[in-house]
């Protein structure tokens, strides 16, 4: 009889092999397993099978971990990639959800191993988690490539975590499913329903205007966010988890399940069950994340009235799959897709209402063949059409019918002009309509700290018709392109009842924010983009219907200013910041690293 770990384990490595799917190939992706004839050999078997000293060592160390051979030998090894952390309130329940995923993996005949990875807490991490999105993507990719795993379940949801995990998984090329963290429960204060983020900005402005005091703010602190989970508005977190569901990389209906609902645990267990089957069939992200899938994700974001941050993230995610998305793709689709979800900040309701109204399956079913590619596969079903069969909407106010949308066109527009030659974006559905065609005097701030110090200076004589301009806040200038784009309106104007102004920047803004904010101006000022040449007193024209953003200064004067402009010195002399500065791309191409986004072969590690 052969020794355990030799012939027996080699034979066991073939148990449960199903019909082979095609190997996925993302940017830098590895082969997920090896086919011999009609049988599929598990990738993890390269670590554990055979007679060599390395295989012997790997089996011995697995015994050191306390695992019996029968627990793992010949079973798909599933990495449970967990972004849980004590400092990330969006993910504070993911420790328990990882156990639910493991339960599902065990039930399906797999062997789960939990891997902690970096947590990107939108609430606490400075200067911005966007500085570290690519770091988490790189960590995820290299973790999956370097360990004996056959597939992965990715746990996350806070804004940058979703794109980072999916970018890394796409590049690694192993079978994967994403488990969204889910939105928190709705907030409450004095009989009012609160939406985290959106109502934070609203009531902070109320305090600045003198209409509420310290007692009210203290009560609001206790009522805005009252459970684990991501923001319950259609901020960046729910926008990106919804995009992931639309891409087909989650279990059906996963994005909107409240974080503390028992259905969330069941969904996590179902993901664990399903990923084992994906390994057995060889289904990888490349089979799911096609161009049609990304176009449907854009459609979904627009129909939701979602966050402008999705533009950057989806472009980067598609790039990892070898697919080129451009700003024009967003603008083209936006002109044909109605906004159906009446969710804050652009609407009235919250994610909990959206879930009980039918969630994303209900919204996608309403978009239907007219707007979606329904015959593409998902991780759960042979087609999106099959996945949406029987999906219903239970509240026509939360998820509107096509005949009665919140807005006739998607709530996002791409602008170009001499101020944004490579493009800029505006979420015009959340702006005051009278500002969408506007010319005003520029009031320029060179960076966010100086803006904070000067915004209330009466000597600036800011009026409601002026255009507030912030530069030095892009991918390099920020650094990391922080969410500074919703520039504060001066206190004295708030007290006069002014609630919106035109604001321009090379920054991003929170998906929970609102207002006539032009964002992602590219190229950014830090690299000499036209935003660097604006002076206070210049006039700027915003024309959203014409998709135009223009600095009303003669070309000769702009040329003179450009000749006088000096690039700022590098901010980082060493460390990750220096790596970031050397390789980050601009907003219109997704802010990925050049060495991660380019195509090229990455070898599988030698294991014997």
> Per residue in 535-582, pLDDT tens?
999 999 999 999 999 999 999 999 999 999 999 999 999 999 999 999
Instruction: Kindly report whether the peptide bond that precedes residue 345 is cis, defined as omega within 30 degrees of 0.
Output: yes
- Residue 158 DSSP one-character state: S
Tell whether 324 is covered by a domain. yes
Q: Are residues 558 and 477 in the same domain?
A: yes
SS3 content of the chain, % helix, strand, coil (to 5): 40, 15, 45
Residue pLDDT, tens place only, 215-228 = 999 999 999 999 99
CATH number at residue 478: 3.50.30.80
**Computed over its alpha carbons, how large is the radius of gyration of the chain?**
25
**Pair of tokens at residue 272:** 């664990």
**Pair of tokens at residue 363:** 């919204």
Of 339, 372, 388, the domain-final residue: 388
Whether the pLDDT of residue 241 is over 70: the answer is yes
Tell whether 153 is covered by a domain. yes
Tell whether 254 is covered by a domain. yes
Q: Are residues 473 and 536 in the same domain?
A: yes
User: What pLDDT sits at residue 483?
Assistant: 95
Q: Are residues 60 and 102 in the same domain?
A: no
Residue pLDDT, tens place only, 355-389 = 999 999 999 999 999 999 999 999 999 999 999 99
Q: Are residues 540 and 479 in the same domain?
A: yes
User: What pLDDT sits at residue 35?
Assistant: 45
* Residue indicated by tokens 């493991």: 102
Q: How far apart are CA 269 and CA 263, in angstroms?
A: 10
Tell whether 34 is covered by a domain. no
pLDDT mean over 311-334: 98
Q: Are residues 235 and 383 in the same domain?
A: yes
Q: Are residues 118 and 251 in the same domain?
A: yes
**Pick from 574, 308, 248, 595: which is nearest to 428 by CA?**
308
Q: pLDDT band at 29, cuts 50/70/90?
A: low
- Residue 485 DSSP one-character state: -
User: What pLDDT sits at residue 478?
Assistant: 96
Whether the pLDDT of residue 133 is over 70: the answer is yes
Lowest mean pLDDT among 13-22, 100-109, 388-397: 13-22
Residue pLDDT, tens place only, 192-210 = 999 988 888 889 889 988 9
Residues 6+ apart with CB under 8 A from 275: 78, 105, 108, 110, 151, 152, 153, 175, 176, 177, 379
- Residue 103 DSSP one-character state: H
pLDDT mean over 455-480: 97
Q: Are residues 422 and 444 in the same domain?
A: yes
**Pick from 535, 439, 443: which is nearest to 490 by CA?**
443
Tell whether 20 is covered by a domain. no
Q: Are residues 62 and 98 in the same domain?
A: no
User: What pLDDT sits at residue 21?
Assistant: 34
Tell whether 10 is covered by a domain. no
Total number of domains in the chain:
4
Q: Are residues 356 and 419 in the same domain?
A: no
Q: Say how many Å lie between the first and final Cα of the chain, rounded.
A: 24
Q: Which domain holds residue 85?
A: 75-185+227-388
Tell whether 11 is covered by a domain. no
Q: How far apart are CA 551 and CA 543, in angstroms?
A: 12
Say what the pTM is.
Answer: 0.93
Among residues of the chain, what percentage have pLDDT more than 70? 94
Whether the pLDDT of residue 231 is over 90: the answer is yes
Q: Are residues 345 and 375 in the same domain?
A: yes
Q: Are 558 and 551 in contact (CB under 8 A)?
A: yes
Lowest mean pLDDT among 7-11, 204-208, 287-291, 543-547: 7-11
Alpha helix ranges (H) inside 50-93: 53-64, 69-72
Mapped onto helix, strand or coil, the DSSP state of residue 217 is helix
Q: Are residues 190 and 174 in the same domain?
A: no
Of 208, 224, 240, the domain-final residue: 224
Residues 6+ apart with CB under 8 A from 29: 170, 171, 172, 173, 284, 286, 602
pLDDT mean over 311-328: 98
Q: pLDDT band at 258, cuts 50/70/90?
A: very high
Residue pLDDT, tens place only, 417-452 = 999 999 999 999 889 999 999 999 999 999 999 999
Q: Are 398 and 353 in contact (CB under 8 A)?
A: yes
Alpha helix ranges (H) inside 186-261: 198-208, 214-223, 236-247
Tell whether 349 is covered by a domain. yes
pLDDT mean over 576-602: 97
Q: How far apart are CA 335 and CA 413, in angstroms?
A: 9
Rounded mean pLDDT of the chain?
93
Q: For helices 214-223 and 198-208, give the axis angle rounded to 10 degrees.
A: 170
CB neighbour burial string for 291-320, b if at least 16 within 10 angstroms, e if fewer: bbbbbbbbbbbbbbbbbbbbbbbbbbbbbb
Question: How far is CA 536 from each of CA 123, 397, 443, 444, rounded to the nearest angstrom?
Answer: 33, 44, 5, 5
Q: Are residues 279 and 328 in the same domain?
A: yes
């Amino acid at each position: 009889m052969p020794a355990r770990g030799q012939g027996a384990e080699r034979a066991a490595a073939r148990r449960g092999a199903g019909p082979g799917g095609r190997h996925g190939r993302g940017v830098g992706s590895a082969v997920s397993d090896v086919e011999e004839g009609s049988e599929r050999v598990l990738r993890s078997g390269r670590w554990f099978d055979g007679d060599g000293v390395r295989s012997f060592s790997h089996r011995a160390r697995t015994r050191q971990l306390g695992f019996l051979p029968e627990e793992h030998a010949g079973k798909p090894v599933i990495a449970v990639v967990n972004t849980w952390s004590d400092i990330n309130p969006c993910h504070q329940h993911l420790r328990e959800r990882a156990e639910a995923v493991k339960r599902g993996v065990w039930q399906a005949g797999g062997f789960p191993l939990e891997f902690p990875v970096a947590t990107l807490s939108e609430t606490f991490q400075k200067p911005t988690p966007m500085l570290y999105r690519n770091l988490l993507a790189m960590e995820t990719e290299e973790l999956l490539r370097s360990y004996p795993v056959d597939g992965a379940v990715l746990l996350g949801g806070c804004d940058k975590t979703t794109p980072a995990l999916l970018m890394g998984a796409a590049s690694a090329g192993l079978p994967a499913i994403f488990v969204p963290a889910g939105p928190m429960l709705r907030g409450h204060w004095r009989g009012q329903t609160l939406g985290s983020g959106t109502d934070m900005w609203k009531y902070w402005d109320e305090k600045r205007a003198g209409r509420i005091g310290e007692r009210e703010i203290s009560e609001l602190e206790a009522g805005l966010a009252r459970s684990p989970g991501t923001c319950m508005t259609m901020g960046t977190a729910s926008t990106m988890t919804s995009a992931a569901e639309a891409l087909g990389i989650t279990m059906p209906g996963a994005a909107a399940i409240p974080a503390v609902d028992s259905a969330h645990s069941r969904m996590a267990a179902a993901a664990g069950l399903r990923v084992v089957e994906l390994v057995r069939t060889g289904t990888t992200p490349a089979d799911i994340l096609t161009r049609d899938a990304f176009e449907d994700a854009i459609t979904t974001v627009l129909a939701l009235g979602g966050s402008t941050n999705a533009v950057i993230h989806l472009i980067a995610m598609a790039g990892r799959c070898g697919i080129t998305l451009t700003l024009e793709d967003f603008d083209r689709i936006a002109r044909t897709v109605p906004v159906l979800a009446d969710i804050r900040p652009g609407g009235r309701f919250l994610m909990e209402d959206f879930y009980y109204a039918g969630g994303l399956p209900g919204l996608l079913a309403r978009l239907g063949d007219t707007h979606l590619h329904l015959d593409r596969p998902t991780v759960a079903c042979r087609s999106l059409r099959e996945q949406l069969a029987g999906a219903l909407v239970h509240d026509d106010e939360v998820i509107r019918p096509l005949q009665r949308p919140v807005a006739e066109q998607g709530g996002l527009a791409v602008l170009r002009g001499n101020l944004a030659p490579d493009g800029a974006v505006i979420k015009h559905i959340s702006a005051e309509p009278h500002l969408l065609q506007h010319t005003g005097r520029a009031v320029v701030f060179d960076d966010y700290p100086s803006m904070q110090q000067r915004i209330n200076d009466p000597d600036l004589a800011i009026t409601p018709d002026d255009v507030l301009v912030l530069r030095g806040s892009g991918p390099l200038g920020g650094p990391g392109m922080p969410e500074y784009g919703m520039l504060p309106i001066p206190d004295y104007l708030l007290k006069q009842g002014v609630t919106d102004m035109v604001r321009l920047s090379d920054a991003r803004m929170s998906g929970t924010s609102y207002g006539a904010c032009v964002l992602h101006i590219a190229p950014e000022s830090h690299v000499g983009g036209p935003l660097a040449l604006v002076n206070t007193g210049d006039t700027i024209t915003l024309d959203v219907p014409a998709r135009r953003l223009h600095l009303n200064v003669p070309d000769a004067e702009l040329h003179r200013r450009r000749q006088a402009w000096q690039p700022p010195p590098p901010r980082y002399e060493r460390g990750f910041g220096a790596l970031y500065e050397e390789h980050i791309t601009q907003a219109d191409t997704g802010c990925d690293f050049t060495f991660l986004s380019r195509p090229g072969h990455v070898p599988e590690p030698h294991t014997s």
